Every structure is written in structure tokens, then in C-alpha cells.
Amino acid sequence: MAGNVRQQLSQLASLSHSGGSHRDVTEKYKGILETILKTGGNEMVPSLQAFVEALVNENVSLVISRQLLSDFCAHLPNLEDSVAKQVAHFTLEKVHTRVISFEEQVAAIRQHLADIYERQCSWREAANVLVGIPLETGQKQYPTDYKLETYLKIARLYLEEDPVQAEAYINRASLLQADSKNEELQIHYKACYARVLDYRRKFIEAAQRYNELSYKTIVAEEERMQALKNALICTVLASAGQQRSRMLATLFKDERCTQLPAYNILEKMYLDRIIRSSDLQEFAALLQPHQKAVTSDGSSILDRAVIEHNLLSASKLYNNISFEELGSLLEIPSTKAEKIASQMITEGRMHGCIDQIDSIVHFEAREALPTWDKQIQSLCFQVNQIIEKISQSAPEWMLKTTESQMAEGQ
């Protein structure tokens, strides 16, 4: 069949070159394409390749070539992925030297080829195919939304295997998102940006972005709760300090967090309680692979975050403590406890000083009033939660009790 197709195409090329009308030539090319698609079989790939090779030939009018290649692109989604992938790669190779003449068609082919790779979970290949679309360097002026959507798709695909590359493309999207009025794309941008920050271990910034997403009503309820869960996880993994303390307060006051499996860790962190390694098993199961990475000192990201939290908590319990006792409290060697304390004091994330002669950490004195205020606030919050649960389980009893209290007050 492929040989017969080539013969027909050769005759058509001669007709086109000798001045045949564009309409007649186009219709005959379309007829051949329809025949190839209907016949199918093992000869489909070589026949389609012959068709593509003929229509992008420089002897064929560019007007005809563009129209026919657009029609060909429209049929790609109807082909089996294995066939479409072979033909798409062949077409891109054939138009490589004339890509400026077929920018729109090349973009369509690359978009479909990326979809095929994505279905096959070949994330990097899918992203690389999309990178080949000349969004900024070509002659065609692409709409802002198209460029934004493509950059976001590239970033999302790279995130699966190469977060560094993903960051480069989310940065390109950042330059466009302010000019887009498409709310759905804005949401995709925020979600992708949050994931990039998460993968790059910029946990507190990621938590802030995830938390913003959790309030977007355009997002499905299930996805909003997932965003809130991600915000909580990233906050726990973030380095101890004022920024994390503010984020902990924001999440602790959000009643939705009580439904999350990691709420007990959030509560302990917000209330400055010491967290033991035995408390972390349930939380550790929630972590994604990149969040389980080991730091330069051999501890996991979670271990490091909890050690820093416990050190801050200790600074609010003690005026001073020896390296030995601090190591025992944090469940780590005393030398490591000294090193982490020194780093946190140097970075301004904890107030105090180190006496290396006597092997003691001195914590700066704190006012008791803010601590009492925080504890009272926490107690009131927990009492309100208990009252709400009683109201849900025994509404009639709650109503009678409330009326009785109001009568006594009068």
C-alpha cells in the first residue's frame, strides 16, 4: 500500500508543480489521507509517513501544505498512541528545517505527543517535547493564556522527575500570570508554584501558598482539604522560627485542621510541647518521597524540624541547660545538640548564648504574660471544640442547659 500511496503522491506533486488549482490538489491529497486512515493495518505508519513527506516538500505550495498538515494534525488523536507517536516524531523531523513555516502545526503535534508521553508516565519526555514549541522565539504571536498554560504543563511534568527544571518554567509562568484573567489558570499556577517550593524544600513559602489554595471556592472541597493538609505538613517540616510560629498559629485557629490526621503534631508544636520520636510515626507516613530526604548531618528533614522545635520548647522551659541534658531531652548526642543550638542562635531563630567552658546553653529570660495569654487562648479554643461536639451529639440537652443558664443569669 505504501508504494501505491507514494506513486499517487508523486503524481499529485507533479500536478501541483505544473499549476493545478489549489482546491483540486488539496481535495486529492485529502482523499489519499482518508484512504490511508480507513485502510489501516501494518502499512498505515509508512503510508502516513509518505503522505507527510510529500506534503511538506518544497515543491508543494505552502498554502496547501499548511492546510493539509492542519488536517493531518486533527486526525492524530484518533490514531492509536503507538502509531501517532511514530508519525508525530517523523513529521517533526521532516519539518525541522522549515519549522517557521509550520509553527502552528508543529505546536499542535507537540501538544498531542506530550499527551501520549504523559499517559505513558514518561514525564521528562513529555516536558521535553513541549519545550520544543517556540513560544518566545518564533514568528507566531501566541496568546498569553496559551503560553501560560504550556509553561505550567511543562513545570508540572518536570516536577515528577526534575524539580530544578520545573522551577525554571514556573518562573517563566510567573511573568505571565498577572496578565491572565483566566481564574482556572491562576489556580493551576498557584498549585504548581506551591509544589515547586515544596520540592525545593522552601517549606514555609510552600505552606503559605497551599493555605491560600485551601480557601479558593473554585477548587473542589476534597482538593481544598488536600491543600490544607499539604500546608500543615510543610509547616511542620519548616525550620523553626517566627515565620513558622505565625503559620502554626494560622493553622491551629483553622477549625478544618482538626479533621486532619496530623492535627496532634500541629497542636503540640503550637503549644510548644516537647515531641517524642514515638509521636511521629503517623505523621511520617504522610510524607512524600522528596520530604523524606536526608540532610547533610545525616538526619531526615522531619527529624531536624522536630529537634529545632523541641529546642525552642526547651528554651521556654529552662533558663539554662547543660549540653548533656539537652542532648538527652532532644534524643540526640550532646555535640549535635550544641551545634544545632549554636546555629539557631546565630541565625536569630532562638535567643540565648552558649558557654562552651561550662558546656551550658543559656536562654534569654522571657516575659510570663505572653505565655499565659497563649495558654488561656488554647484552653478557650479547646473548650469551644468540646461544646460544639456536645451540641452535635446531644442538641436537646445542650438547648436545655443553655436556657437554664440564661434563666439563672436573669
From first to last of the 410 residues of the chain, give the pLDDT tens digit: 444 555 555 555 554 554 556 787 788 888 888 888 887 777 788 888 888 888 888 777 888 888 989 999 999 999 999 999 999 999 999 888 888 889 999 999 999 999 999 999 999 999 999 999 988 877 788 999 999 999 999 999 999 988 889 999 999 999 998 899 999 999 999 999 999 999 999 999 999 999 999 999 999 999 999 999 999 999 999 988 889 999 999 999 999 999 998 899 999 999 988 888 888 888 999 999 889 988 877 789 998 898 888 888 888 888 888 888 888 888 888 888 888 888 888 888 888 888 888 878 888 755 444 555 666 777 777 777 787 777 777 777 767 776 666 555 44
CA dihedral 151, 157, 159, 160 (to 10 degrees): 180
Instruction: Tell me the C-alpha distance between 351 and 324, whole Å.
Output: 20
Going across the sheet that includes 320-322, the strands are: 320-322, 360-363, 352-355
Host H or E run for residue 15: helix 2-17
Q: Which of 248, 289, 240, 253 is nearest to 265 (CA)?
A: 248
Of 78, 104, 137, the residue that ends a domain is 137
Count structural domains, the chain: 2
pLDDT at 264: 92
Q: Classify residue 147: in a domain, yes or no.
A: no
Instruction: Tell me the C-alpha distance between 155 and 177, whole Å.
Output: 14
**What's the DSSP call for residue 60?**
S
Q: What is the span of the domain harbouring residue 6?
A: 1-137
Q: Classify residue 38: in a domain, yes or no.
A: yes
pLDDT at 220: 92
Host H or E run for residue 339: helix 334-346
pLDDT at 262: 87
CATH of the domain at 327: 1.10.10.10
pLDDT at 276: 87
121, three cell numbers: 508516565
pLDDT at 122: 94
Of 112, 137, 162, the residue that ends a domain is 137
Q: Classify residue 356: in a domain, yes or no.
A: yes
CB contact at 8 A, 117 and 125? yes
Of 345, 363, 381, the residue that ends a domain is 363
62, three cell numbers: 505552502
Q: Classify residue 208: in a domain, yes or no.
A: no
Q: Classify residue 359: in a domain, yes or no.
A: yes
Give the 3-state secondary structure of residue 80. coil
Q: Classify residue 24: in a domain, yes or no.
A: yes
